[in-house]
Chains A and B, each alone.
Chain A
């Protein structure tokens, strides 16, 4: 039986008098892929930032791992007024060896000739791969990703999720991820957490992704089309 890697109890976040999250309780086990679902403004990003200690909160968050990496959502990454920083220099900020940088770039599918490229000149897909490489550089046990494919076209999106799936399998990582793409949930999630400021549901996709639950999360009219690839 997998050991518990994260335990969240009675988590609430209030900012300037506004209750952003209320009484959230859940656990994440080792090697699980937990996907957090919820409508816009549900507090998904806030939940991830709180889990990482970036937001003051009430309640308890207990991590059983210290090797946690984070990929923020696009809106919290500045792509304007960037310094002339190369991919190699950016990954080097992690204080890792040149060999390790080369290895990680290979793992995320970044061509070696991009190492000397200025990060501001990368395509959105390449930039995102570079951030995934950043997240992997410190040999994490847990990856916390917020909308990892925002701004990427459908082809690129599939490639990024396939890459994350491969890394999860190869490295035995635990992943906690926010996404709006329900097909991703079907293909990659082992467990789902649904929130809308407060806790709505938690469980395996086949149990959670019902019409009733989706209406509870996204409102009336929400539908689900199951689309599973054979392994």
Chain B
């Protein structure tokens, strides 16, 4: 009986944590309209792998490891861009390939599954509470910068004339993506984090009539895919990460039948 309660509590923590991360990841993803941003989202997920490898090797939290390596990676891309004037895409590819190589060298074979597809079995009350608070903060930040980001996605000049600091907004947005990717690796691993950000927004875009619907549905699809994926994983005993992504892509393919 006690074991059942414990397992259910564990399930509840996993559902809450993943729904928070998935919802906010979907909401953030709704702004990823340019090719460059979508590429960045994918690359950042892979960039986290050395951080996860070190976290697992030295016994600290995987999201913390992922966040530290993301800060290092983004700073490296930014510094190399200033130094070399090469396109961000090329530099992101260089940094991400290097970090992947480092991860493969140091990742212990017992930790490969956790690093690549995530692990929800060790989610505690503290992790759930921290995830909830951080997710709410990121949601509020994105909601605040959303109008400016929307305007600058049409024309940076128009946004600047309206008094929007486009560079600052981009930086804040990228920082929010980094935090959400770092939290996402716990649930779906370093390989599939980009899907948390990209698929709910793509699904929502297929069926939305306007921006308000689009952003709200992105959040909803992200949260529901994660909650459903974790529940199905609990029932089927299959990996939570793949189940979440499969739920998310099922919503996407279903949305094609209702495409506006």
Q: How many residues of B contact A (CB 8 A)?
A: 24
User: A interface, how many residues as a size bin?
Assistant: 20 to 34
Do A83 and B153 touch (CB < 8 A)? yes
Do A116 and B209 touch (CB < 8 A)? yes
A89-143 residues at the B interface, CB under 8 angstroms: 89-90, 93, 116, 118-119, 134
B205 at the interface (CB under 8 A from A): yes
B168 at the interface (CB under 8 A from A): no
A-B contact sample (8 more), CB < 8 A, given A52-B157, A76-B156, A118-B209:
A52-B160, A52-B161, A76-B157, A81-B34, A83-B211, A84-B205, A85-B150, A119-B154
Do B209 and A93 touch (CB < 8 A)? no
B108 CB → nearest A CB, Å: 41
B84 at the interface (CB under 8 A from A): no
A52 to B156, CA, bound (A): 13
B231 at the interface (CB under 8 A from A): no
A159 to B10, CA, bound (A): 66
A116 to B260, CA, bound (A): 13
> Which of A70, A86, A118 contacts B161 (CB under 8 A)?
A70
B46 CB → nearest A CB, Å: 23
Which residue, of A54, A69, A85, has the highest number of chain B Cβ atoms within 10 A?
A: A85
Do A70 and B208 touch (CB < 8 A)? no
Q: Which residues of B contact A69 (CB under 8 A)?
A: 161
Do A54 and B157 touch (CB < 8 A)? yes
> Which of A49, A52, A78, A86 contacts B210 (CB under 8 A)?
A86
A205 at the interface (CB under 8 A from B): no
Q: Which residues of A contact B (CB under 8 A)?
A: 49, 52, 54, 68-70, 72, 76-78, 81-86, 88-90, 93, 116, 118-119, 134
A46 to B67, CA, bound (A): 40
Per-position binary interface string of chain B over residues 193-224, scored 1 when its CB falls under 8 Å from any chain A CB and 0 otherwise: 00000000000010011111110000000000
A124 CB → nearest B CB, Å: 15
Q: Which residues of B contact A49 (CB under 8 A)?
A: 157
A149 CB → nearest B CB, Å: 17
Do A72 and B147 touch (CB < 8 A)? no
Q: Which residues of A contact B34 (CB under 8 A)?
A: 78, 81
Do B210 and A116 touch (CB < 8 A)? yes
> Which of B157, B158, B161, B210 contacts A85 (CB under 8 A)?
B210
